[in-house]
């Protein structure tokens, strides 16, 4: 999805001599995906990115499965996840399968004494509450309420928060995160009917080159383990870089809804895709304008996929007793739909102010022990007349 971008100083030709003022070479690094056949960037470091001083013992952060198989409409009260000081420790995986992990986090503190790299998954960090800066070697991205931060696997980063009040909804994807294929032309450009375009993409800015030696802790995640590495040089020693592989951001508030005379199906809300799942954005929009339209969604059966909704803000006309940070999981195999009374109530309404993130995975999700701790056990009964 990202367009070509470049920051800092780079040589005129790739894989050629690029020297420091003292005559020594800068260290070139190719950061490539799917071998050498997909997106990549070329990075120029003050020092080789390979100077490892010590390696600590890895420890597990693998989600602990509490409910592997189930057929129950489920709701999790996300804001019941207690805030914690540390960013990584605050991340609580709640719904997982072999394609993605969904986590909630409420970190109080910025990352100051270590850096983090997810080597097994792209990350989409949705900012529900809080402001700050995503800091990487590629440059910095300021974030605020409603931003999706898309962090490709292998990116070393720090999260710098402005205050202690932060709520994050995090998706780890074991395949690349992309803009929906149907919104891109053969060259990758977003087309006219896309609900967002390249102007809406926030790319890294303000490249800060850290030409520093010392002991720099980088916690690297791979296959459910965290490996503590100590490197001898600062990981943000980028002199310059160019390419298509870098972190970027999109605000849910810049997603332009697609509406119609009759109720539009969920794919019109699609924002990103990965292998075997999609991510959608529900934003304030005009309701259907056929004179006999029913704005509330119809009952539907998820035959091939689960459905996850993360409620962000606003008034959800198809649900009752919805709170911010609530997650609903409607598993494939049984129908779900609007709560009793909401269909009739929706008729005649012209618009909605709802804000939500939806994920449709095409493999069943499992609930973790952290999910069970915040479950509303009676949610499945909420359709009773």
Please answer whether residues 332 and 364 qualify as being in contact, where contact means their C-beta atoms are separated by less than 8 angstroms.
Answer: yes
Task: List active site positions.
Answer: 263
Is 306 annotated as a binding-site member?
Answer: yes
Is 336 annotated as a binding-site member?
Answer: yes
Which tokens belong to 5?
């971008």
Annotation: binding site for homogentisate: 336
Annotation: binding site for Fe cation: 300, 306, 336
Annotation: binding site: 300, 306, 336
């Amino acid at each position: 999805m990202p367009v070509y971008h470049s920051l800092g100083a780079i040589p005129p030709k790739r894989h050629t001599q690029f020297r420091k003022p003292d005559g020594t070479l800068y260290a070139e690094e190719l950061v490539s995906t799917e071998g050498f056949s997909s997106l990549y960037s070329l990075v120029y470091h003050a020092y080789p990115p390979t100077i490892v001083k010590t390696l600590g013992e890895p420890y597990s952060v693998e989600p602990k499965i509490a409910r592997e198989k189930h057929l129950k409409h489920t709701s999790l009260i996300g804001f019941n996840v207690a805030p914690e000081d540390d960013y990584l420790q605050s991340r609580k995986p709640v719904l997982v399968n072999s394609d993605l992990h969904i986590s909630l986090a409420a970190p109080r503190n910025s990352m100051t004494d270590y850096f983090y790299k997810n080597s097994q998954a792209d990350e989409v960090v949705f900012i529900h509450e809080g402001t700050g800066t995503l800091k990487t070697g590629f440059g910095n991205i300021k974030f605020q309420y409603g931003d999706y931060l898309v962090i490709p696997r292998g990116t070393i980063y720090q999260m710098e928060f402005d205050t202690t009040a932060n709520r994050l909804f995090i998706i780890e994807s074991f395949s690349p995160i992309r803009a929906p294929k149907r919104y891109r032309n053969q060259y990758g450009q977003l087309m006219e009917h896309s609900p967002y375009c390249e102007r809406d993409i926030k790319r890294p800015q303000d490249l800060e080159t850290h030409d520093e030696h010392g002991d720099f802790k980088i916690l690297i995640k791979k296959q459910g383990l965290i490996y503590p590495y100590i490197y001898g040089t600062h990981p943000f020693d980028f002199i310059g870089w160019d390419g298509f592989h870098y972190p970027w951001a999109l605000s849910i508030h810049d997603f332009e809804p697609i509406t119609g005379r009759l109720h539009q199906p969920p794919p019109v809300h699609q924002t990103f895709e990965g292998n075997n799942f999609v991510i959608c954005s529900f934003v304030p929009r005009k309701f259907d304008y056929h004179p006999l339209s029913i704005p509330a969604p119809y009952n539907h059966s998820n035959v091939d996929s689960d459905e996850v909704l993360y409620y962000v803000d606003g008034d959800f006309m198809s649900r009752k007793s919805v709170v911010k940070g609530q997650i609903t999981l409607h598993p494939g195999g049984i129908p779900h739909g609007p709560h009793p009374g909401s269909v009739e109530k929706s008729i005649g309404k012209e618009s909605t102010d709802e804000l939500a993130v939806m994920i449709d995975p095409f493999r069943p999700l499992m609930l973790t022990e952290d999910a069970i701790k915040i479950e509303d056990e009676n949610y499945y009964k909420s359709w009773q007349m």
